[in-house]
Amino acid sequence: MIQAKGKNLHSGYTTGACAAAAAKAAVLALLYQEKVIQTEIALPGGGRASFDIKSCILDNNQAYCSVIKDAGDDPDVTDGAEIGATVIRKDEPGVKIIGGQGVGIVTKPGLEIPVGMSAINPVPRQMIERSVTEVIQNCHEIRGLDVVVAVNGGEELAKRTLNPRLGIIGGISIIGTTGIVIPYSMDAYKATISQSIDIAVACGRTDIVLTTGRRSEKFAQNKIALPEECFIQMGDFIGYALERCAAKNIGSVTIWGMVGKISKIAAGHLYTNISDSQVDIGFLVGVAAACGLPQEKLDELKGAVTANHLRRMLPEPYERKFCDKLCRLAAEKCLEKAGSKLEVSCIMSDYNGKVLGKSHAS
């Protein structure tokens, strides 16, 4: 197990990583016609991880293996869930990934997965396909496979998540962009933010980029030409990070995030953990109204299930105006939190790093 930052907390693995491990083990069992007790997969961010296999059932044409998810010290509702994969031989080449029992079906637009498909996100799909392909790429015995991912008790687990509100029915989502779940204690995370600001100041920097996570930091580093010490992952602790920047006489702060987090900040939520705040669709409709959208379109926006869904529903002539305005509102909330002691700007990107909007606090 990987140790996370602060107070001996330990990392775990995502549902996507567990599904990929179960699928790879099932392919090995099918190919060699023997039970598998452990397997190893490549992680999206680099490195590899080993998983113990709980169940392994096989015959000549298909095999099933499962993994017990260990979320480490993260308070995850899927911790301890049994995530399995059945692989089935087929004559057609290629790997097809299907959601089985306990995996939700997407019923509303606006998510990364189209309506009607199983809620297995793009990166987990890539992980599963890559893990299976590692085994069969030079294998003549198996031409193609169907991979059916299932979660024991997934229907009940889903009731303790936001899936029903998002229109994902019948089970949980298979998610994760890195394969690893990294828990942080609040005190440890805040200490890391404070220390990072101290390092930037010690290096003579007065300009800081605060990002909401690893992906947003990578995007920011690709667009903003500043030394590495200027980029600080603040996570959900926007208010705390701004207070520390003001206390350390930082001159300017750029906030970089994606639409969900920026929407929360613009609405005045400066601690953006899902346990403390949710995206307010009504607020976002109000922002769109201020951009001049006609009433009939505003009525449509009220049916959005996520901030990104609403953003994608906007007519093209209004999208940039909406995103810029959202960034301005977020920057103004941040400036207010910092006591107007520093300059604040905000940049919002999509999930691929494309800049959607930006603005300074007025």
Task: Tell me if 12-181 shares its fold with 186-360.
Answer: no
Residues of the chain above pLDDT 70, percent: 96
pLDDT at 8 over 70: no
- The most confident of the ranges 74-78, 183-187, 292-296 is 292-296
Is the pLDDT at 3 greater than 50? The verdict is: no
Q: How does residue 281 score in pLDDT terms, banded at 50, 70 and 90?
A: very high
Question: Which amino acid is present at 355?
Answer: V
Residue range 284-288: mean pLDDT, rounded = 98
Q: Which of 94-108, 174-188, 316-330 has the lowest mean pLDDT?
A: 174-188
pLDDT band at 165 (very low <50, low <70, confident <90, very high): confident
Q: Which long-range contacts (CB under 8 A, 24 or more apart) does 214-218 make?
A: 214/178, 215/177, 215/258, 215/351, 216/256, 216/257, 216/258, 216/349, 217/256, 218/353
Worst-scoring range by mean pLDDT, 60-64, 166-170, 285-289? 166-170
Assign domain 12-181 one CATH number from 3.30.2110.10, 3.40.50.10470, 3.40.50.300, 2.20.25.570: 3.30.2110.10
What average pLDDT does the segment 135-149 reach? 91
Reply yes or no on whether the pLDDT at 102 is more than 90: yes
20-46 pLDDT, tens digit each: 999 999 999 999 999 999 999 999 988
pLDDT, tens only, 116-125: 999 999 999 9
Global pTM value:
0.70
In sign, the C-alpha dihedral spanning 46, 260, 358, 113 is positive
CA distance 275 to 289: 28
Average pLDDT, integer, range 172-183: 87
CATH 3.40.1050 fits 186-360, yes or no: yes
Residue 252 is predicted with a pLDDT of 96
pLDDT at 164: 86
Burial of 45 (0-12, 13-18, 19+ CB in 10 A): exposed
pLDDT at 362: 73
Whole-number mean pLDDT of the chain?
92
Residue boundaries of the structural domains of the chain: 12-181, 186-360
Residue 66 has pLDDT above 60, yes or no: yes
Mean pLDDT of 180-184: 76
Dump pLDDT digits (tens) for 205-254.
999 999 998 889 999 999 999 999 999 999 899 999 999 999 999 999 99
Grade residue 6 by pLDDT with cuts at 50, 70 and 90. very low
